[in-house]
Structure 1
Amino acid sequence: MQSGTPTPSVPASQPYTIASPPHQSSSLQSPPLPPLPPSEGVPSGAPASYTPFPSTETRHQLSHDTLPPPVPASPPSINRQQSLAETLKELQEQAAFVPRSSVVRTAAANVPIAVSTVVEPEVGVEESVSELYIAGLTARELFVRLPESDDVSLLLEKYLRPEHRPARDLSGEWRGKTLNELIATHNWRGVARYSYDAVTQSPPEQTAYILSHWLLRFQALVRLRLFQPLAVELASVTSLLPPSSCFGPVELSEPSEADIPLFHPAVPFELHVLVASLPSLQGQQSRSVELVTMLIRCCKEALWAAKKESKEADQRIWTSRVERLGVLLAGLFAEVKASPSASSLLSSATSPSSAVLSALCRLGISAGEMTSLDRSLSAMPAEDPAKARRRIQILRDVADGKYVEAEVELRRLVDEDADDVEARTNLAVVLLYLARVEEATTHLISLLSTHPHIAYNSPTILFNLCTLFEISTEHATAKKVGLLRDAARYGAQGIERGCFKLK
């Protein structure tokens, strides 16, 4: 079986959407601006801070904490060689996985993976981990053959004659490209095949290296929204791992339950988070709420054990993990319309970090609770390298209808960093709210030329631009088909048909 011949969702903030895109992430992770009235799925008379949610039909294609593939501010650099751990961390900040450094071994000779061969492990919890041999992790039978078509292919077949359809490389062939180049060009099928080759051609005793590339494979499948293959492959891999109470019920014979660790030190923590997050990717938020809650409980037990043994480094690690999982859980609560529970959970933090405060602010905007929003906003540090406080203040201005003030601040962000795609996308939305439709359209189109690999692979940008076409011209369908054709030239892998608003 050649998993690497796939032809047709890593889960960081995301630009605002003009309305509710068909593939929308948690309101805590990606704060949208108020939708345009009237808009599909938006109740008449909804408050300005109303946040629409995807329909049941599209919910099955949802990812979290993340979760559609968010748009990074700029593509990963391809002029330097990143370690695999750095690459995973960048992807994890855009997806559902808690970042963790990994020990990466030398790649197999016939898989010239462009990563560093030595990465410092996470201090504390993992520092004494030695390589653990797990039989079967390199077996080709663990991989699922990916579908040979996708939504973009189907739309091309419907709207364009064969001679007008751009060539799309959906083979996953990556030879001649580095991992950084594959990620920068959003070639997720290439990343999936890349990981397949790395896993299957690695010496089986290099477990940490193999698991790190399995994680990379899973990240690619999330970007491609191939959640069913992801579920099958993830179940196959976790079934081979050492017993852990975090992976669900364990049948006991020998040893006793007390001998089964909460977390096996050789198993990347991201796998636990992915197992808990997977149901939400498939539209089963309630199940993910249960699994994430269980995972938080296990992390707290590990934290208490570290405190008991006075291991300060471990305490910091587990405290960070509990906090990040709390934000993830709050996002799930928001998705199932349990905003009070989400607010109570986030407010329970004794010393909330910027991430928690930012999540509280976004929740306040989503729920229209301006008092709690202002309280959380005032608690955020004034000096923030990530500019989170400024971005939240822009949301606050938009919620108050202060579009001119929002435009001024967004232009400042763009002037400071022309590669800030999020700010540039949000500026186009604010221009629309100011009834400057032509300027908003031109502004978004400029992104297609300055940042094509990002813009043509962004569900948010594509959806917003198609909405602007519908508003501004009688020839919207032709323009949307043209956008589809151009996006296909840049891959458009993992983009669902609803982003082009074509039936």
Structure 2
Amino acid sequence: MFTSSPTVYIEPEVPDPFLIDDSDDSDEESAEVTPTESQHVLAQVPLVPVAAPSSPNPFGSPLQSQNRNKDVPPPPLQSDSDEEDAPELYVPGLCIPTMFLPIPNTDPLTTLLNKYIHPPDKRPVRDLTGEWQRTDFHTLVMSNRWRALARMARDRIVTSDPEDLTLILGLWYLRLSSLARLRLFNQTTAECTNLFSLINAIEPPATRAWLYERVLPFELEVMHARLKYWTGDHMAYLDALYALLHKCKTRSRRAKGEPTAVAMWKERGARICLILASQLMEMKDYAAAAKLLEPLCEQGDGVTSPAMRSALARIYLQSGNLARAAHHIAAVAADASTPPPMKEMNAALLAAAEGDWEQASELLRAGVLEENPDNYTAVNNMCVALLSQGKLKEGIEVMEKALKASPQSVVIAEPFLFNLSTLYELRSATAIENKRNLLVEVAKWSGDGLKTTCLKMPTT
């Protein structure tokens, strides 16, 4: 019998679900960004958003933060003659505030917190306002604050000089890629459509062609192709990607005699091939994906790319062609330039595909994690190997240790969270309590844009 009435938690009033992008109290001095700083900003944003599978891959993609210092050929410098030949181009419509939509100031993670974490004071404080003026760009990127980055890009665009097209289009890419990271795909599609409708209306056609060739960031063209994926038209998406691949090949041949330009277009072509292979794998066309990547294993003068061979081997593993996978894994192992952890990871994946889970876990433990305990891809794969051996308790301990050691790196990795949630469900009757604790950690460290289904906590 109750001696007192049970505690009732009253939720606060739900706020307006949209940000107001026109703020009058922003700090103008802190909002100043020079063109040089903006170009540096754009270089740190992931170039191409890649499609995630419908359910997390147990051997998922790398879990560490992306290498922002990746060695990419720089774009060729424009000569004085290029500047003299530049047509007069003034497109003020690129800076009109009505080109943008308001950003929702709530997300699925907040919904989960409101449903599962009580009392409210146990919920981590999360900033969904999009305020960016008092934080430096590096901090915003490293903390996955894509909402603030999208707001920053919009604020900078509407206050920019319309004649500075290079800066404006670079900021447009930052805006759209940040929206995509927030998984606001409908909004990304709408704003990207607005942008390209304006660009494609530029007259005369020669001026428009010059803009595409000389000014428009290639990443924006990739983003524009991506719209077809978000609308569910995957065949049209493949057609758009193949058109971009054809452009890379054509521009590379046309730039013959300019080593920097040739290297740049070849690198872009290789990235398009990887995006195509990813899409083909999602469509279960493993043979086409492998055929596309086979030529990329040899990169000029017979030089082998271990990373590309490893990626190709994993496609063969996923398709069940163990013989071809073993062939490429053996080639990588025989290459003296291949880092030892890559060799051990490949061997572990092959052992797992052959059903030798004990050998796979030993290769990951001794060959990768002893030297590099921060390799969270290996930690994730170790969890899968232990789960397949029925060692649930040990798998949970391995993953929780990684979570405590570097929560900011781990909680943004959806395959990791999916596997840990699965282990909780299989191991204990108190799984819901463990997943609540995991939700709190994710809310503290993950920032914006996490696909919350990986936590396996229904919202309804």
CA distance in 1, matches of 2:224, 2:193: 9
Cα distance, 1:474–1:394 mapped onto 2, change above 3 Å? same
1:425 pairs with 2:416: no
Matching residue of 1:384: 338
Matching residue of 1:455: 410
State how 1:79-228 maps to structure 2 within 5 Å: 122-123=75-76, 134-161=91-118, 163=120, 164-228=122-186
- Per the TM alignment, residue 501 of structure 1 is displaced from its structure 2 partner at its CA by 0.8
Q: Are 2:188 and 1:230 equivalent residues in the alignment? A: yes
Matched, 1:10 2:1: no
Partners of 1:203 and 1:378 lie apart in 2 by 56
Which segment drifts farther, 189-198 or 345-354? 345-354
Q: Which residue of 2 aligns with 1:416?
A: 371
Letter matched to residue 470 of structure 1: E
RMSD of aligned residue pairs (Cα, Å):
3.5
Gaps of 5+ in 2: 1-18, 24-44, 300-304
Q: What TM-score, normalized by structure 1, do the two folds share?
A: 0.71
* 1:359 paired residue number: 311
* 1:266–1:492 CA distance, 2 compared to 1 (3 A): closer
Larger mean CA deviation between 369-378 and 472-481 belongs to 369-378
Whichever structure has more helix as a proportion of its residues is 2
Task: State the match for 1:320 in structure 2.
Answer: 267
| Structure 1 partner of 2:241 | 292
Deviations 1:269-320 (A, max 9, x none): 111111122322454322211110111122222223223xx33332222222
Whether 1:265 and 2:211 are equivalent positions in the alignment is no
DSSP 3-state at the match of 1:144: coil
Over 3 Å counting, the alpha-carbon distance change for 1:495 and 1:274 in structure 2 is same
Taking structure 1 as reference, are residues 346 and 486 closer, same or farther at Cα in structure 2, changes over 3 Å only?
closer
Which residue type is aligned with residue 73 of structure 1?
Q
Distance 1:305 1:387, change over 3 A: farther
CA, structure 1 residues 214+494, in 2 after alignment: closer, same or farther (shift >3 Å)? Answer: same
Structure 1: give runs of 5+ residues left out of the alignment: 15-19, 25-30, 34-67, 77-86, 91-98, 102-120, 244-249
Say yes or no: does 1:402 pair with 2:356. Answer: yes
Shift of 1:419: 2.7
SS at match of 1:416: coil
Structure 2 distance, partners of 1:482, 1:266, is: 48
State the partner residue of 1:466.
421
Aligned to 2:64: 73
Residues 1:340 and 1:188: Cα distance change in structure 2 (over 3 Å): same
Q: In 2, Cα distance between the equivalents of 1:208 and 1:138? A: 13
Give me the whole-angstrom Cα distance separating, in 2, the residues matched to 1:469 and 1:127: 63
Quote the Cα distance in structure 1 between the aligned partners of 2:249 and 2:80. 20
Residue of structure 1 in register with 2:224 after alignment = 275
Cα distance in 1, alignment partners of residues 111 and 340 from structure 2 = 39
Measured in 2, the distance between the counterparts of 1:126 and 1:480 equals 58
Q: Is the 8 A contact 1:221 1:230 kept in 2?
A: yes
Cα displacement (A) at 1:268:
0.9
Pair 1:372 & 2:321 matched = no
What is the number of equivalent residue pairs in this alignment? Answer: 405
1:422/1:303 Cα in 2 relative to 1: closer, same or farther (>3 Å)?
Answer: same
* Structure 2 letter corresponding to 1:318: W
Cα deviations by residue, 1:344-393 (Å, 9 ceiling, x for unpaired) = 22234482544542332121011011122122223434423595444333
Structure 1 range deviating more: 430-439 or 464-473: 430-439
Deviations 1:21-68 (A, max 9, x none): 7554xxxxxx744xxxxxxxxxxxxxxxxxxxxxxxxxxxxxxxxxx9
Query: Partners in 2 of 1:408 and 1:160 — Cα distance?
Result: 38
Cα distance in 2, alignment partners of residues 487 and 356 from structure 1: 32
Distance 2:170 2:229 in 1: 23
Q: 2:106 & 2:217 partners in 1: Cα distance?
A: 32
Aligned partner of 1:403: which letter?
A: W
Give the match's secondary structure for 1:233: helix
Q: Contact 2:72–2:264 at 8 Å: present in 1 too?
A: no
Distance 1:234 1:71 in 2: 28
Cα separation, partners in 2 of 1:126 and 1:278, compared to 1, 3 Å? farther
Distance 1:125 1:354 in 2: 34
Change (3 A) 1:133 1:415: farther
Mapped to 1, the partners of 2:283 and 2:383 lie a distance apart of 30
Instruction: Name the larger-Rg structure.
Output: 2
Structure 1 residue 133, shift from structure 2 partner: 5.3
User: Which residue number corresponds to residue 27 of structure 2?
Assistant: none
SS for the counterpart of 1:471 is helix
Q: Give the TM-score normalised by structure 2.
A: 0.77
Name the CA shift for 1:488/1:71 in 2 (closer, same or farther; >3 Å).
farther
Question: Among the aligned pairs, what percent are the same residue?
Answer: 28
CA deviations on 1:397-423 (whole Å, 9 max, x unpaired) are: 211223333323323322323332222
* Equivalent residues of 1:75, 1:454 under 8 A apart: no
**Structure 1 letter corresponding to 2:217:** P
1:157 aligned partner, one-letter code: N
Q: Measured at CA, do residues 464 and 32 of structure 1 come closer, stay the same or move farther in structure 2, by a change above 3 Å?
A: closer
Superposed CA deviations along residues 62-110 of structure 1, whole A, max 9, x for unmatched, are xxxxxx9x6652477xxxxxxxxxx5x76xxxxxxxx978xxxxxxxxx
CA contact (8 A) 2:347 2:363 kept: no
What is the one-letter code of the residue matched to 1:239?
S
User: What corresponds to 1:79 in structure 2?
Assistant: none
